[in-house]
Structure 1
Amino acid sequence: MNAHERPGGLPDPPVTVLVVDDEELTRTGLRALLSTKPGLAVIGEATDGAEVLPLVERLRPDVVLMDVRMPDVDGIEATRRLRAALPDPPKVIVITTFENDEHVYDALRVGASGFIRKRAPSQQIAHAIRLVASGDSVLFPEAVRRLAAARPVRRDAPTGRVAALTGREIEILRLMAKGLSNQEAATALRVSLETIKTHMGNVLTKLDAGNRTQAVVMAYEAGLLSPGSNDR
């Protein structure tokens, strides 16, 4: 049985993707690249963030590959609208020209699962899509740390919710901030994968975060994680 088959020989349904970018060349290029990747299917395109919510409600994609900078409604606002309007919104990966784009950080704050550069290899983009579709996140720890270091601790940060985290939950959150996957964190702490998933579920619930990337950003903003010290 291969990686894209279910028990009984039935193929897994493809991960469906909505591509959002105001540049036609970028949309066309992404659709062409992703069409060659097994297990992925681009089911729609949008040229502006204002089109995203109606298209998502109609097409129900698993993942939205979203340009962070668009002239009318940008990727930040479009991501915010998805989370506000839908009880189970699709995962969002923002795409950007520069990984140090401050708009990327804002997109992560409102619930994007991660980000990737437009010029990343197609295999890396495909891997990122599969990763977030499976419930993980695409986190480039050094880039997020640099972006967090340029921001002051927010006065409206959820310090009360952060204070509710246990020592073990904070330890796991720090590993996530370093870019470790759930399995890598389980190996590092010598616990089961299910234990890690349980703790991360508790973290997300306590912080009211949509995914672990957003939880890491919230921890930076509340001062729980310090970008200057690398939290090692």
Structure 2
Amino acid sequence: MDALTCRDIAYRYAGNRVLDGISFRAPNGISIILGPNGAGKSTLLRVLATELRAAAGTIAYAGHPVATERDLRWFRSAVGYLPQRFSCMDHASVLDNVVYSAWSHGVAIRDCERAADRALDVTGLREHARTAARRLSGGMRQRMGMACAIAHAPGILLLDEPTVGIDPRQRLEIRRFLVRYAERAIVLMSTHIVDEVPTLANRVLVLDSGHMVFDGSVERFRSLGDERSYSTLWESAYIRALEGAGRA
């Protein structure tokens, strides 16, 4: 089975360590990344997307270390990335945006429209293929962003808070898509919505101040929760993880 493995990843900004010794292994399925603002979630995803270069540590995918420039190009072709804020061609159609994304990720020109059609099918946007991107609702825009991210059929999908600010029905559609896609791919998704863990996650990672304070199964994460608290079971599990209760 393919897996993404990180060992001792560190990243510095303005002399400060934003990530410090981050190590984990993410197999196929959905790994949810939790943590307070400033914990390093977005930075970790940007490092994995090769948008930022780590100061230290190693990344490997499917058993192959990403060590050389050639490795880096190969790894980039295996990654789809949707940041919190993404730009698109607002006056172009949804289809044209996804076609362009496929091309920019190395899909041959003759195959780009077919790849875009598949991505729109998977994300439930085929009937909106000719709609201008500027006319999309927030949830549909997020789905278009995901279609752009998966147009080249990546084995790793990185999502930075993809369900923030959208209504429950659209969030449900995105969840359905993610569960289907994760059947054959590695999905790493950051979120502040702790209750997404039981509906989506196969694995939970919790960051705090640039450190990994929890890495384990949903069952182990759940065991930290306390139903007698004033928070939900999952919220209390998250709080206890931040307090260090989940450390090995």
What TM bracket, shorter-length normalisation? 0.3 to 0.5
With structure 2 as the length reference, what TM-score do the two structures score? 0.31
With structure 1 as the length reference, what TM-score do the two structures score? 0.32
Relative to total residues, which structure has the larger strand share, 1 or 2? 2
Relative to total residues, which structure has the larger helix share, 1 or 2? 1
